[in-house]
Amino acid sequence: MILYGAPNPAPNPRRVRIFLAEKGIDLPETLVDMRKREHKAPEFRAKNSLGQLPTLELDDGATISETVAICRYFEELNPSPSLFGQTALEKAMVDMWVRRVEFVLMNPVGQYWRHAHPYTASLLTQYKEFGESNRETVMSAMKWLDRELAEKPFVAGDAYSMADICALTTIDFADWIGLKMPDDLPHLKAWHDRVTARPSANA
């Protein structure tokens, strides 16, 4: 199989690399040069019609896109250690928190990146006022996560999970584009220190 991805700071390919590192799965990443728009080339769109990374191509030619879907595929093949929960409740909580992280935090980070950051100015028509308006939304989302982490070590509860991977990669990418975590969020910072200390965070 072939895993198509891109190096940091791209957050979505990093999610899969962290997941694979946690699982102890050695699958080299085939890099696609996003600066050269290789992910938008017809050859790559034949694998992923949206022209996005990461994409996993199986030995039979089938392709899987979207980070959580790719990680779920590997979870089914390699169930231990579990990163999507074991009981029905744990699985539901991980799904809930992955979705919350993506909608409440990742979405405004992405809108800021698309509409307010100079690196993306040549890629689309930017609406800078809208883009900048997402800064406050991101800060509010981080404050919300700080409150949620006041009495639990990880995003979805007591165990490290895919929800933590999604949150870590989002917060690190936010920092890279100028949306730094506020200093007055002790629970979020402590969580960030914990998950960043894991060897997989270097993937």
**Per-residue model confidence as pLDDT tens digits over 140-198:** 999 999 999 999 999 999 999 999 999 999 999 999 999 999 999 999 999 999 999 99
Give a yes or no: residue 162 inside a domain. yes
Assess whether 73 and 12 both reside in one domain. Answer: yes
| Continuous segment of H or E residues that includes residue 137 | helix 128-148
Q: What pLDDT sits at residue 50?
A: 96
The answer for residues whose C-beta is within 8 angstroms of residue 56's C-beta and 6 or more apart is 1, 2, 3, 4, 16, 63, 64, 65, 70, 73
CATH at 20:
3.40.30.10
End of a domain among 25, 49, 77?
Answer: 77
Assess whether 198 and 99 both reside in one domain. Answer: yes
Dump strand ranges (E) for the chain: 2-5, 29-31, 55-57, 63-65
Assess whether 73 and 98 both reside in one domain. Answer: no
Q: pLDDT tens-digit profile of 65-121?
A: 999 999 999 999 999 999 999 999 999 999 999 999 999 999 999 999 999 999 999
CATH at 148:
1.20.1050.10
End of a domain among 20, 46, 77?
Answer: 77
Give a yes or no: residue 82 inside a domain. no
Q: What pLDDT sits at residue 35?
A: 86
Assess whether 102 and 59 both reside in one domain. Answer: no
Q: How confident is the model at residue 41 (pLDDT cuts 50, 70, 90)?
A: very high
Does pTM surpass 0.75?
A: yes
End of a domain among 77, 96, 116?
Answer: 77
Total domains in the chain come to: 2
Give a yes or no: residue 83 inside a domain. no
8 A C-beta contact, residue 105 and residue 141: yes
Q: What pLDDT sits at residue 123?
A: 87
Q: What pLDDT sits at residue 154?
A: 98
Full domain range(s) for residue 35? 2-77
Assess whether 96 and 69 both reside in one domain. Answer: no
The secondary structure of residue 149, as a DSSP letter, is G
Q: How confident is the model at residue 55 (pLDDT cuts 50, 70, 90)?
A: very high
Of the candidates 81, 82, 64, the one whose C-alpha atom is nearest the C-alpha of residue 73 is 64
pLDDT mean over 9-33: 97
